Structure formats: C-alpha cells, structure tokens
Amino acid sequence: MTLTNEQMERYSRNIILREVGVKGQNKLLAGKVLIIGAGGLGAPIAMYLAAAGVGVIGVADADDVDLSNLQRQIIHATSDVGKEKVTSAKESVNNINPDVTVNAHRLFVSADNIMELISPYDFIIDGTDNFPAKFLINDACVIAKKPFSHAGIIRFTGQLMTYVPGEGPCYRCVFKEPPPKDAVPTCRQAGVIGATAGVIGSLQALEAVKFFIGKGDLLTGSLLTFDALSMSFRKIKLPKRENCAVCGESPTIKEPFDYEQPVCDSQTHIECYGNP
C-alpha cells in the first residue's frame, strides 16, 4: 500500500523509526484492534492507537458518559456527559485521525456475543473493571486463538500482561477463578489516579503497536506491575499452568461462559445484550 503525502507527514515520527518504517506503518494501517471498555484504560489505548494509524478500532461499551468518569477517561469531555461512550469515543478518535475506521459496539460482552465480537479483530484489549468480564475475555481469546492484552489498575498501582496463542500463560493460568463479588476492591470502591490509567493504558497500546510491527518483546510470560507511589516497575515471570482449565493440556473450558449475567430489566436489556 502506497502512503499518501498527507499520511507520510502524519506518521513521519513512526516511519522514521528503524523498527517501523513504511512497512511497519502499513501493518498498523492494516491492523484491527478491539478495545473492550471505553473507560480509564480504553481512553488512552484508543487515542494512541488512533494517532498511530491503526486502521480499524472497535470499541465495545454499553455505558453512557458520567461526570465521575472525566477524572480519568480522557477520551470523553464535559460536553459528552450523558452521551453513549462508544459514540463519544468514536467522535474523539475521528477528530484525532480520520484515517481510522471506528466500529462502535454498544454492548456489554457476554458469552452470547463475545465470539462473534472478537472474530474480525487481530488484537483484543481488555479495558474492563470486573473479573467475570476479564475471565470471559481471556477464555474467548484462548478458544478463538486471539492475542490479547490484559490490564488492571487500582489506587496508585497497575499491572498488565499479554497473551499470545501458543506462546505463554493466559490470565487463567495466573488466576484460576474470579474472586467472589466485592471480595477484591474495585476502582469505584478504592479509587484510582487517572494518570495511572494513562500509564497502563499507554503500555497496552504499545503492546498492540509492537504486535503489529512485529518488533521487540511482548509481555508474554510476564506480568509488568507499576506502583506510582514508589515510581517503580517490576516485571514478574509468569509460568504456564499445565493443568489450566482453558489453555492447559486437557482443557475443560471449551466455550466461553458467564460467571454473572449483567443485571437486566426490560429497560436495560438492550444495553446489556446490545442489540440496538
């Protein structure tokens, strides 16, 4: 694919990098990423990947923008309060880079929709806050053989790992089952500094870029942890669990399932199951 003069200028700082070049830029432009959750992590991920020229960015979220989101979800602005998050995210991304095709998926992921949802994409990014969704995304990506980036943030800390099929442990190797509801604090309960989401989301965006250009080492078999208070990173080696229920030698999980169904009534059914 020949880049236009405008694209050569827009992506000049990418292209000048030995690891990217025109070839790498074309790989980015041909890339298809799905970001699940247009929140604190999803915001910087979508914005940096859009700016880098990733060709197709899917954003899945069923929520509307709330005033309390704006402390960290920098893809949304004050004027977006009340708007669908996927619409607000799509508008922001299109403003950053009209080259990018944004697919707005107004839904919460569930076992019923996740396989179809992830199918057209090359790289999946988990920007969700709850453990049933994180396990669902892991299981679906392992079963569909899709690479994905997992991350979590809370208070002043964050962590991320990358799964590549056949190349290392999955999220379920590390954490076998989700903790019971409310057993582990969430950002809503414990708080989080917005810039922490920015650090971790930006690192997830970097993993996606590296995946597409095929350079460097991904966080496969490693968990990178970040503590903003001590300003320290640690890379912890993760073994693969041979008896993992989904990626092990004799998997017992062969299709995705929901640990908890979203709480739905007739009013919110469409939001939960996403069929507009």
| Burial annotation 107-130 (CB, 10 A radius, 16+ → b, else e) | bbbbbebbeebbeebbbbbbbbbb
Q: Report d(CA 52, CA 176) in Å as an integer.
A: 35
| 27 is a contact residue toward other proteins (CB under 8 A) | no
Which stretches of the chain are assigned E, i.e. beta strand?
A: 32-36, 56-60, 101-105, 123-126, 148-154, 157-163, 222-227, 232-237
- Distance between CA 8 and CA 2 in Å, rounded? 10
State CA 261 to chain mean position distance. Answer: 21
The binder of other proteins chosen from 120, 214, 216, 239 (CB under 8 A): 239
Pick between residue 18 and residue 237 the one whose CB is nearest to other proteins: 237
122 vs 126, beta carbon nearer other proteins: 126
Q: Is residue 61 part of the contact set for other proteins (CB under 8 A)?
A: yes
Near other proteins by CB under 8 A: residue from 2, 6, 79, 188: 188
Shortest approach of other proteins to residue 12 CB, angstroms? Answer: 30
Interface with other proteins, residue 234, by CB under 8 A: yes
For residue 40, state whether it binds other proteins (rule: CB under 8 A). Answer: yes
- Under the binding rule (CB under 8 A), the answer on residue 274 touching other proteins is no
For residue 31, state whether it binds other proteins (rule: CB under 8 A): no
Residue whose CB is less far from other proteins, 2 or 250: 250
DSSP-derived 3-state class of residue 78: helix
**CA pair distance 269, 238, nearest whole angstrom:** 39
CB 76 to other proteins: min, Å: 12
Q: Which is nearer to other proteins, 88 or 128 (CB)?
A: 128
Number of residues that make up the chain: 276
The residue among 126 and 207 lying less far from other proteins, judged by its C-beta, is: 126
Question: Does the protein bind other proteins through residue 217 (CB under 8 A)?
Answer: no
Per the listing, tokens 């432009």 go with: 29
3-state class percentages of the chain: helix first, strand second, coil last, to nearest 5 = 35, 20, 45
Strand bridging mode 148-154 / 123-126: parallel
Out of 23, 176, 215, 269, the only residue in the binding site for other proteins (CB under 8 A) is: 176
Told to check if 39 binds other proteins by CB under 8 A, we report yes
Contact 171, 140 (CB under 8 A): no
With binding defined as CB under 8 A, does residue 128 bind other proteins?
Answer: yes
Should residue 262 be labelled a site residue for other proteins when binding is judged by CB under 8 A? yes
Residues that bind other proteins in the complex, under the rule CB under 8 A:
37-43, 61-63, 68-69, 72-73, 108, 126-134, 151-154, 157-159, 173-176, 179, 183-188, 192, 197, 200-201, 223, 234, 236-239, 241, 262
